Structures are given as structure tokens and as C-alpha cells.
Amino acid sequence: MSLACEEVVNVDLPDAQNQIVVEGWVSDSLSNHPIRVTQSLDFDSEVPFLAIETATIIVQSRDGEVFDYQYQGDGFYVAISDYQGSPGSQYRVRIDLDTAEIRSDWDQMPEPVAIETLEVESFEDVDPNDSNNEITIYYPKITTRDPVNVDNFYRWIFYKNGLIFNDPDPITVQDDRLFDGNLIPNNFQNFDYEIGDEMTVELTSISQRAFNYLSLLSSQLTTLGTSSGTTPAIVEGNLFIVNNTSTQVLGYFGSRSISSETQIVE
């Protein structure tokens, strides 16, 4: 008989620096355009973040418009009155805290790119609950026409029965480097729907800087941690603390234009 000895090793993890995290977008849809402001906590904290409830927030456009926000709950702030962003205009957020003033860089809203067609396609696959059976998987097939000689950057957002559908891909981004000016068919077979589901797809046009941020964030979320994967690191956004460049604010505040189509899976 052999006995194995195990030595318990206690590793003292350094306290992580608590970071302020800002997440928000202005779009060309009439909305209250929510902005979330939270603070990250230590690795071993029982809750993932702390909602910041006492901020004063305004969104500004370079055209001189100012939109005031009020606290709603769970770290979310919403515009007091619904408003609609304008493609071609630039927007930024200003957040006043007790100890700091946070701003974003200006972010210009691109012109929207229309979804020309949304079709429901399908394929047969093995039933995950019974390997002897097959089931039908329904997915969105979308056609768009990319503008000619314009650098375009996109994020796709999917909804199932009115709720955001981000499994298995929480962030789906695309640029037109390889298909500028062409008619583009997109088959999103990872997003499966069933008969009777309401399928809604949003094509959001974003700035290049927003695209770079979301691309890096996506790679961090999906890395497997192997030697060929992306090394986990802080994803730099477009936010900063005024008069304090040594302290980093995480997240992104940007602008986007939206095209949307809906189909019922039949």
C-alpha cells in the first residue's frame, strides 16, 4: 500500500486595485440610453462588483446638446428624457464622483448600414439528449450591402423572444476589410432558435476604436488560457480621470447606429 502526502499551500494574493467600470452607448434610436457605473472588487469578494449610486452624469454632443441622467438602480443611470443620437455627430460622457471626474473621448456615430434581408435557415443535428435522434436547428441568415470605399465596423446583436441572446458568442464583431462595397451573406449558425421563437437581429455600426475595444474584449472572454490564447490583460477603453492619468477607468462609452429586422421562426 502506498500513501500519498499532500502539502497544503496557502498563497497570499495581493489586493487588486478597485477599478471604476463604465459601460454605455448612445444610438440613433429614441431611448433613455442607459449607462452603468460600477466598481470592481477583490478577487475573493462574495459579490462581483459594487454599484456606484451617487454619480452625476451628463452626455454631451459636439453640436451643443446636453442630456442629464438620473440613477435607476443596480449601477444603471438613464436619461431623464428620451433622446435620439444623430449619425455623424460626436458624443462623450462626463461622470462626476465625490473623488474624481471621469470623461470619455469623443466618439462619432457612424451612418447606419441597412439589413437587406433576414431569412430563417436550418440544418439537422444530433439531439444532445438522445444521440439516436436528430433535431432541426434554425438560425439567422442575413444579407447586407457594405458601403463602397468607406471603412465600416460592425457589431451584431441577437435577441430571442425579446431577450438578448448572447450564447455562445457574447460579442460578435466584424469589419469590411475583406468585402468592402460587396453584398455580404452572413450565416450565424451558432445562434439556434426553435419553432415559434421571435428572432430579432440588430446590425450596429460602430467606430473603429469601439471595434478595436470590443475585439480585444471578445478575445479575452473566449481565450482558453493555452499558450496560443490571448494573455489576460486590462482592455483599454476610451475613459479617463481628469487630471489623473495614472489611474485607469475600465469600460467604454461610445455611439452606434442601428438597423434591425425581426422574423418569427415557422
Range of the domain at 243: 20-108+209-254
| Phi (first) and psi of residue 40, to 5 degrees | -70, 155
Whether residue 198 sits in one domain with residue 123:
yes
Residue 17 is predicted with a pLDDT of: 60
- Classify residue 49: in a domain, yes or no: yes
The predicted pLDDT at position 34 comes to: 98
Considering the domain architecture, whether residues 119 and 133 belong to the same structural domain is answered as yes
Do 44 and 77 lie in one domain? The reply is yes
Per-residue pLDDT reduced to its tens digit, 87-134: 999 999 999 998 889 999 999 999 999 999 999 999 998 888 888 889
Q: Taking 90 as the threshold, does the pLDDT of residue 9 lie above it?
A: no
Residue 229 lies in a domain: yes
- Beta strand 56-61 with 90-96 is antiparallel
Residue 219 falls inside a structural domain: yes
Amino acid letter, 183: L
Q: What is the pLDDT of residues 63-92, one digit of tens each?
A: 999 999 999 999 999 999 999 999 999 999
pLDDT of residue 168: 75
pLDDT at 61: 98
Q: What is the CA radius of gyration of the chain?
A: 22
In a domain, 9, yes or no: no
User: Do both 167 and 121 map to the same domain?
Assistant: yes
On the CB side of 75, CA atoms within 13 Å amount to 15
Specify which residues 22 forms β-bridges with. Answer: 37, 251
Pair (101, 224) in one structural domain: yes
Looking at the structure, do residues 229 and 246 belong to the same domain, yes or no? yes
- Whether 50 and 122 map to the same domain: the answer is no
At residue 180, does pLDDT exceed 80? yes
- Whether residue 12 lies inside any domain: the answer is no
Domain count of the fold of the chain? 2
Residue 1 in domain = no
Residues 197 and 214 in one domain: no
68 domain residue, yes or no: yes
Q: Among the three residues 187, 206, 225, which one is the final residue of a domain in this structure? A: 206
Specify whether 175 is located in the same domain as 225. Answer: no
Q: Specify the pLDDT at position 49.
A: 73
Closest CA to 49 of 23, 74, 30: 74
Verify that 88 and 70 share a domain, yes or no: yes
Same domain, 86 and 129: no
Same domain, yes or no, for 200 and 213?
no
124 contact partners, CB below 8 Å, separation of at least 6: 134, 135, 136, 137
Among 168, 189, 206, identify where a domain stops: 206
Residue 1 has pLDDT above 60, yes or no: no
- CA-CA distance, 93 to 33, in Å (whole number)? 12
